Amino acid sequence: MPKDSADGRKYRPQTNLVRGGLDRSHFDELSEAMYLSSSYAYESAEQAQRAFKGEEDHYLYSRYGNPTVTLFEERLGQMEGARICQSTASGMGAMFGSLACMLKAGDRLVASKALFGSCDYVCTVLLPRYGVETVTVASSDLDEWERALSEPTNAVFLESPSNPMTQVLDIPGIADLAHKAGARLIVDNVFATPVFQKPLEFGADIVMYSTTKHIDGQGRTLGGAILTNDEDYYEDYLRMYIRHTGPTLSPFNAWVLTKSLETLDMRVRQQAANATRIADWLLDQKRITKVIFPGHDSHPQADLIRKQMSGPGTMVVFELDGDQARTFKFMNALQVIDISNNLGDAKSMVTHPTTTTHQRMSEEERATLGIHENMVRLSVGLEDPLDLIEDIEQALSA
């Protein structure tokens, strides 16, 4: 039951992250209470009738809404500058729901090719099975997007920066083209985080998150969120889709995520500072043949990054001087940094996309995206960056 979060504009963002949506019970608890309740009791049969008719504000059932879940949605909505925030049980619940709630057989979807593996599956395998035509665009060149959007389209889905290559797409440019084609633009903002990029301010209609990543940031819960100021999208599609198909966030996870929001801004900024330090150091290492980091002038879309992002993010991609065996040897020699496919966590993690997150793709598709066997993706956490640098250094000479 998302409420209007517009009053978040009264305070500065960090205050909203600590206090947004707070609604104390009659116990006056200082910290946010957790309401682990699937259902709600009514004073009378008449009250139940009024609640179901929408004449009285009363929770009905936690698939529709729950006070702890509402609290999380209000706080995240204020952070994003979105009046509507609908949480979900995972990032993929948000991604699939954001499209499935509105698309039907015969509709057309344009999606970026550089997507998180499961998002690519939804766009190119699952939705076409339901009769949705999907066209993908691999390039960040706006002319290619213009060509793909030269016919009537219902939805555009993109990720910027992308996983794993941090490809950056022109959000205002693509939003214009999408609107001319009659489509809503949905942006997967997981890599940028709400700290460094606000797609709604650049013309996107809908933003989605896997809250599993930086928003939890400590590897505990799965969750997701869909945020928008488009009342028609919410009222005509999303509200009923969530109510009746049930990808609902649990109140326990909502509580953990609410507490995580209190520290989101400072965690992400510190992780980005650590990532910058490591990315700069990697540039001077002779065993590293390529570094891709949104904070570097050498990033292929450095100009776009300056226009639409206020920070570089927490992910560094680099290539080693060798093949897959050499890359595995490096990863296995790391002593602080974990091998894992999660990201955005306080603990630094390294991933080999070719054999894990992107193994479903053909070698040819991976080559188009620039994903090579000697490439690793590093998610930089909150450890001392000098320990991380020393760990990488010793693993490189292993």
Ligand X SMILES: *Cc1c(COP(=O)(O)O)cnc(C)c1O
Tell me whether residue 308 is exposed, middle or buried, using C-beta atoms within 10 angstroms of its C-beta: 0 to 12, 13 to 18, 19 or more. buried
Cβ proximity to ligand X: between 90 and 354 the closer is 90
2 preceded by a cis bond (ω within 30 of 0): no
Q: Which of residues 217, 224, 311, 312 is near ligand X by CB under 6 A?
A: 224
71: β partners: none
Task: Write down the least CB distance from residue 227 to ligand X, Å.
Answer: 14
Cβ proximity to ligand X: between 154 and 314 the closer is 314
**Residues in the chain, overall count:** 398
Cβ proximity to ligand X: between 21 and 344 the closer is 344
Q: Which two tokens stand for residue 202?
A: 């650049």
Q: Is 216 in the site for ligand X (CB under 6 A)?
A: no
Cβ proximity to ligand X: between 80 and 391 the closer is 80
152 preceded by a cis bond (ω within 30 of 0): no
DSSP string of 304-370, one letter each residue: HHHHH-SS--SEEEEEESS-HHHHHHHHHH-SSSEE-S--S-SS-EEE-GGGTTTTTS-HHHHHHHT
Task: Write down the least CB distance from residue 83 to ligand X, Å.
Answer: 23
User: Nearest residue by C-beta to ligand X?
Assistant: 91
Cβ proximity to ligand X: between 207 and 396 the closer is 207
Site string for ligand X, 77-96 (x = CB under 6 A): -------------xxx--x-
Q: Which amino acid is at 337?
A: I
Q: Is 102 in the site for ligand X (CB under 6 A)?
A: no
Cβ proximity to ligand X: between 16 and 253 the closer is 253
Site string for ligand X, 176-215 (x = CB under 6 A): ------------x-xx------------------x-xx--
Task: Write down the least CB distance from residue 53 to ligand X, Å.
Answer: 35
Task: Write down the least CB distance from residue 262 to ligand X, Å.
Answer: 20
Please, what is the end-to-end C-alpha distance for the chain in angstroms? 54
Q: What angle do CA 189, 369, 280 make, to 5 degrees?
A: 70
Q: Which of residues 73, 107, 120, 159 is near ligand X by CB under 6 A?
A: 159
Q: Which of residues 66, 98, 163, 260 is near ligand X by CB under 6 A?
A: 163
Site string for ligand X, 111-130 (x = CB under 6 A): -----x-xx-----------
Cβ proximity to ligand X: between 81 and 93 the closer is 93
Task: Write down the least CB distance from residue 98 to ligand X, Å.
Answer: 11
Q: Which two tokens stand for residue 88?
A: 């979900």
Cβ proximity to ligand X: between 257 and 279 the closer is 257
Task: Write down the least CB distance from residue 147 to ligand X, Å.
Answer: 25
155: β partners: 109, 184
Task: Write down the least CB distance from residue 159 to ligand X, Å.
Answer: 5
Task: Write down the least CB distance from residue 343 to ligand X, Å.
Answer: 6
Contacts of 157 (CB under 8 A, 6+ apart): 95, 98, 99, 109, 110, 111, 112, 115, 119, 123, 186, 188
Q: How many CB atoms within 10 Å of residue 397?
A: 8
Task: Write down the least CB distance from residue 182 to ligand X, Å.
Answer: 25
Q: How many CB atoms within 10 Å of residue 89?
A: 18
Q: Which two tokens stand for residue 15?
A: 């205050």
CA 203 from centre of chain: 17
Binding site for ligand X (CB under 6 A): 90-92, 95, 116, 118-119, 159, 163, 188, 190-191, 210, 212-213, 222, 224
